[in-house]
Amino acid sequence: MNRFGDKTKVLHIITRFDKGGSAENTFLTVCGLDRKRYEVLLAMGASDVSSVRSNSNDPENLATQKNISEAKAAGVRLFFVRHLVRELNPFRDIAAFFALCRMISREKPDIVHTHTSKAGFLGRWAAWLCRVPAIVHTPHGHVFWGYFNPWKTLLFITLERFTARITDRLVMLTPQEMKDHLALRIAPEEKFTIIHSGVDLKQFSPEKVWDGKKEVLPEVPENKVIIGTVGRLTAVKGQDVLLKAVYELKQNGREVFLLLLGEGERRQELEEIADRLQLTECVRFLGWRSDVGAVMKSFDIFCLPSLNEGMGKVVVEAMAMGLPIVASNVGGITDLVRDGENGLLVPSGDAKALAKALATLCDDQQMRRKMGEAGKLIAPLYNLDEMLKKIDTLYRELSGED
């Protein structure tokens, strides 16, 4: 028996519905839930939607608009919260909170499932005030290090501890993420559940991805080891560390070429770093791309130098493509990359250690192949269907279904 009736009404709330990992996870969840069992609603910050409309020719914005259209076609009811923005803004945050309260009071969801920090804080308290029966939060990583100064970090930790008291279940993407939360006493262990971020592996199969290297990347040389990374160009992703590591490799005579996929506020700064290190001949900033799998097929090594990472969904995509991984030993990455088996782990922020690990793989093609094959066996553990099954199980538990 389901205490919520024939259908469980679930409201998901997220600040930014873009092409980042947390938004893609949310998109796949709301579209993938069984419509016979669930009525699905999605509330998102409207500022990003306005940006999409005003920059309609930008490829990332076009892809975001496509996700919005697909969610509507899948029967997801969408709500745009005008004042729900990523940046801290007391006036807009209060306005967003009351807008969420009004929406929740009107729609009366059985479960409110929030995503990321800002939406997680405002959405959970709005749900609690409106007496929603079940409240779930997925932080998609955490902001406890690598993002803010110590005082601001302490504020976020305090807010998370306080808000966890009104949360029925905290969804962690990896065991390490749960350990981080437990170490900071965010909530007791019984409030946590682990549900990985699902990857649609059909888009990341080296056998199925279109092999058009010259058409996709005409500037990539054939006689160099291609190192690639994918992620928003922002400080926590550590691309500046990777550029310094490539400089070290060049200084030591390695013939390498670096491809950076992604767009973000730090692009100009990173381009200036590459110019200052005289790397412009061996580095390409490709911007945001929809054909990530096709571009990854050109990589010899995948690198993720993040300072903090909830899971690193892109690591799963790279493993599915048969790529060896070099990554920081932070957050959920350590649950995906088995050091010495499918990749190499290095301390975050350490350019010399990163260069050393990359050099090891540059010099050993057989090791690259062996680690790539090992990764292809691990990637299916993080497929989309498994994520949806676990979310369904969680919702059934919260609904008291037999």
User: Are both 336 and 279 inside the same structural domain?
Assistant: yes
3 within a domain of the structure (yes/no) = no
Residues 229 and 356 in one domain: yes
Distance CA 336, CA 307 (A): 16
Give the pLDDT band (50/70/90) at residue 261. very high
Looking at the fold, whether 99 and 171 belong to one and the same domain comes out as yes
Q: Is residue 123 part of a domain?
A: yes
Q: Are residues 244 and 194 in the same domain?
A: no
Question: In this structure, is residue 1 part of a structural domain?
Answer: no
Tell me whether residue 331 is in a domain. Answer: yes
Residue 76 DSSP one-character state: -
Residues 340 and 393 in one domain: no
pLDDT confidence band for 346 (50 / 70 / 90): very high
pLDDT attached to residue 56: 56
CA 386 to CA 382: how far, in whole Å? 7
Does residue 2 sit within a domain? Answer: no
Per-residue model confidence (pLDDT) at position 54:
53
| 61 and 209 both lie in a single domain | no
Residue 214 and residue 154 share a domain: no
pLDDT > 70? residue 52: no
Please report how the helices 351-362 and 239-251 are oriented relative to each other, as an axis angle in degrees rounded to 10. 60
Number of structural domains found in the chain:
2
Give the 3-state secondary structure percentages of the chain, helix then strand then coil, rounded to 5: 45, 15, 35
pLDDT score recorded for residue 214: 47
Least confident of 26-35, 80-89, 124-133, 136-145: 136-145
* CATH number of residue 245's parent domain: 3.40.50.2000
CA Rg value for the chain: 21
Check whether 60 has a pLDDT greater than 70.
yes
Please provide the average confidence, as pLDDT, over all residues in the chain.
89
In this structure, are 175 and 227 located in the same domain?
no
Averaged pLDDT, 82-97: 90
Question: Do 183 and 230 lie in a common domain?
Answer: no
Is residue 234 located within the same domain as residue 342?
yes
Q: For 307-324, what is the mean pLDDT? A: 92
Q: Are residues 395 and 377 in the same domain?
A: no
> pLDDT tens-digit profile of 62-78?
888 888 999 999 999 99
What type of residue is 266?
R
CA atoms within 13 A of residue 352's CA, in its CB half-sphere:
0
pLDDT tier, 88 (very low <50, low <70, confident <90, very high otherwise): confident
Give the residue numbers spanning the domain of 71: 8-198+383-399
> 228 and 377: one domain?
yes
